Amino acid sequence: MSYKRRKAINKVMIFISILTFLIGAFFLFWILGDIFLKGIRHINLRMFVELPKPPGVPGGGIGNALVGTLILTILASIIGIPIGIMVGVYVNEYGRGKLAWWTKFLSEVLTSFPTIIIGVFVYLIVVVPMKSFSALAGGIALGIIMLPIIAKSADESIKMVPNSLREAAYALGVPKWRTILKVVIPSASSGIITGIMIAIARVMGETAPLLFTSLNNVYWSLSLTKPIGSLTVTIFNYATSPYDDWRNMAYASALVLVFLILILNIIARIYGGRKK
Amino acid sequence: MKRNLGDIIFKILAVLSSLALISLVLFLFVELVIYSVPSIKKFGIKFLVEKIWDPVAEKYGALPAIYGTLVTSFFALLIAFPLSIGIAIFISELSPPLLQRPLSFIIELLGAIPSLIYGMWGLFSLAPLIQLKVGPFLQRILGFLPLFQGYPIGVGYLTASIVLSIMIIPTISSLSREILMAVPKDQREAGYALGMTKWEVIWRVVLGNAKSGIFAAGMLGLGRALGEAVAVTMVIGNFYDISISLFSPGVTITSVIINEFAEATGQLKISVLMELALILFIITFFVMGFARYYILKRIEGR
Query: How many Å apart are CA A137 and CA A249, to the nearest integer?
Result: 27
- Each domain of chain B, given as residue ranges in start order, spans 2-299
Confidence (pLDDT) at B191 = 93
Confidence (pLDDT) at B81 = 98
Full-model pTM: 0.94
* Of the partner residues A10, A120, A236, the one whose CB lies closest to the CB of residue B198: A10
Binning pLDDT at 50, 70 and 90, where does residue B298 land?
Answer: low
- Checking if the pLDDT of B163 tops 50, the result is yes
Q: Which runs of consecutive H residues, i.e. helices, occur in B44-156?
A: 63-89, 97-112, 115-121, 127-129, 135-142
CB contact under 8 A, B258 and A101: no
Confidence (pLDDT) at A228 = 95
Other beta carbons within 10 angstroms of residue A29's beta carbon come to 12
pLDDT tens-digit map of B193-222: 999 999 999 999 999 889 888 999 999 999
- Consecutive 10-residue runs of chain A (276 residues): their mean pLDDT? 89 96 97 96 90 82 94 97 96 88 91 94 95 96 97 94 94 93 94 95 96 92 93 95 91 96 94 66
- Each domain of chain A, given as residue ranges in start order, spans 3-40, 48-274
Superfamily assignment of B2-299 in CATH?
A: MetI-like (1.10.3720.10)
B117 interface with A at CB cutoff 8 Å: yes
A265 interface with B at CB cutoff 8 Å: yes
pLDDT tens-digit map of B273-297: 999 999 999 999 999 988 888 887 7
pLDDT tens-digit map of A181-206: 999 999 999 999 999 999 999 999 99
Q: What is the DSSP letter of A212?
A: T
Query: How many Å apart are CA A114 and CA B168, to the nearest integer?
Result: 13
A13 interface with B at CB cutoff 8 Å: yes
Burial of A46 (0-12, 13-18, 19+ CB in 10 A): exposed
CB contact under 8 A, A207 and B230: yes
Alpha carbon B76 to chain centroid, angstroms:
8
Q: Which candidate, A23, A43, A25, places its Cα nearest to that of A259? A: A43
Element (H, E) at A65: helix A63-89
pLDDT tens-digit map of B226-263: 999 999 999 999 999 999 999 999 999 999 999 998 87
CATH architecture label of A48-274: Orthogonal Bundle (1.10)
- Checking if the pLDDT of B1 tops 60, the result is no
Nearest-Cα residue of chain B relative to residue A258: B113
C-alpha torsion A216→B27→A148→B279, nearest 10: -70
Tell me the pLDDT of chain B averaged across its residues: 92
Confidence (pLDDT) at A276 = 46
B1 interface with A at CB cutoff 8 Å: no
Binning pLDDT at 50, 70 and 90, where does residue B301 land?
Answer: low
C-alpha separations of B136 from A23, B133, B139, B150, B243 in Å: 22, 6, 5, 10, 18
How far does the CA of residue B98 sit from the closest CA of chain A (Å)?
Answer: 13
Confidence (pLDDT) at B3 = 61
Query: How many Å apart are CA B208 and CA B195, to the nearest integer?
Result: 17
- List, in sequence order, every residue forming a beta bridge with B59; answer none if it has no partner: B54
